[in-house]
Amino acid sequence: MSIQQPKIDRVRYESFGGIVSCLQPPFLAWVDRDFMRNLGYTDSPLWSAETGDTHYLSAPTEVHVSVTNRCSQQCDGCYMDSKQDCESEQTTVEWKQHLKTLRDMGVFHVALGGGEAFEREDFGELVSYCREIGLVPNLTTNGQTIGEREVEICKKMGQVNISIDGVNSHFTINGRNGSFEKADGAIKALKKAGVQVGINCVVSMKNFPFLQEVVQYAAKKGLSEVEFLKYKPSGRGRQRYEEYSLSQEMIRQFYPILIEYSKEYKIELKIDCSFIPALVYHKPPKDELEKLAVTGCDGGNLLMSIRSNGCFTGCSFVDNGEHISGIKNKWETSGHLNDFRKLVNKAKEPCKSCEYLSICRCGCRAVVLYNNTDFFAPDPECPIVYDYNMKEDML
Ligand code: SF4
Ligand code: SF4
pLDDT at 75: 83
Instruction: State residue 52's pLDDT score.
Output: 47
> Among all ligands shown, which has an atom nearest to the Cα of 358?
2
Ligand 1 nearest-atom number relative to CA 365: 1
Residues 6 or more apart whose Cβ sits within 8 Å of residue 134: 9, 10, 103
Alpha carbon distance 229, 268 (integer Å)? 14
Q: What angle do CA 154, 155, 161 make, to 5 degrees?
A: 45
Sorted by where each begins, the domain ranges of the chain are: 7-48, 62-342
Which residue's alpha carbon is at the smallest distance from atom 4 of ligand 1? 364
Element (H, E) at 393: helix 383-394
- Of 187, 146, 153, 181, which is closest to residue 167 (Cα–Cα)? 181
Q: Provide the pLDDT for residue 84.
A: 83
The DSSP symbol for 219 reads H
Distance CA 110, CA 220 (A): 29
Nearest atom in ligand 1 to the alpha carbon of residue 230 is 5
Residue 184 vs residues 18, 40, 252, 371: alpha-carbon distances, Å: 40, 47, 31, 37
Q: Which atom of ligand 1 is nearest to the CA of 318?
A: 1
Check residue 51 and give its pLDDT: 55
Cα–ligand 2 centroid distance for 361 (angstroms): 7
CA distance 220 to 251: 26
Closest alpha carbon to 299 in 327, 247, 341: 341
Ligand index nearest the alpha carbon of residue 382: 2
**356: CA distance to ligand 1 center in Å?**
16
Provide, rounded to the nearest whole percent, the portion of the chain with pLDDT above 70: 95
Give the C-alpha separation, 314 to 305, whole Å: 6
Give the ligand at the shortest distance from the Cα of 300. 1
Q: In this predicted structure, what is the pLDDT of residue 4?
A: 64
* Helices marked H in 193-240: 211-220
Q: Where are the beta strands (DSSP E) in 164-255?
A: 197-203, 225-230
Q: How far is the CA of 351 from the centre of ligand 2 (A)?
A: 5
Beta strands in the chain (DSSP E): 7-14, 17-24, 26-32, 62-66, 109-113, 136-141, 160-163, 197-203, 225-230, 268-271, 303-306, 312-313
Mutation pick for ligand 2 pocket among 254, 281, 379 (CB with most ligand atoms within 8 Å): 379
| 344 CB within 6 A, ligand 1 | no
Judged by its nearest atom, the ligand closest to the C-alpha of residue 349 is 2
Q: How many angstroms is it from 254 CA to the middle of ligand 2?
A: 16
Give the pLDDT of residue 23.
Answer: 87
* Yes or no: domain 62-342 corresponds to CATH 3.30.70.260: no
Its pTM stands at 0.94
pLDDT, block means (10 residues), the chain with 395 residues? 75 95 91 95 86 75 96 85 85 98 98 95 98 98 94 97 82 64 94 97 93 96 95 93 96 97 95 97 95 92 97 96 97 97 97 98 97 95 97 84
**Ligand sitting nearest the alpha carbon of 278:** 2
Whether 366 lines ligand 1, by a CB cut-off of 6 Å, is: yes
Specify the pLDDT at position 49: 66
Residue nearest to atom 5 of ligand 2 (CA): 277
Distances (CA, A) of 242 to 46, 116, 204, 237, 365: 46, 26, 11, 9, 17
Please list every protein residue whose CB sits less than 6 Å from any atom of ligand 2. 277, 280, 350-351, 354, 356-357, 360, 362-363, 378-379, 382, 384-385
Contacts of residue 332, defined as CB under 8 A and 6 or more positions apart, other chains included, come to: none
Pocket residue to mutate for ligand 1, from 297, 359, 362, 382, most atoms within 8 A of Cβ: 297
Task: Check pocket membership of 297 for ligand 1, CB cut-off 6 A.
Answer: yes
Distance (Å, whole) CA 29 – CA 34: 14
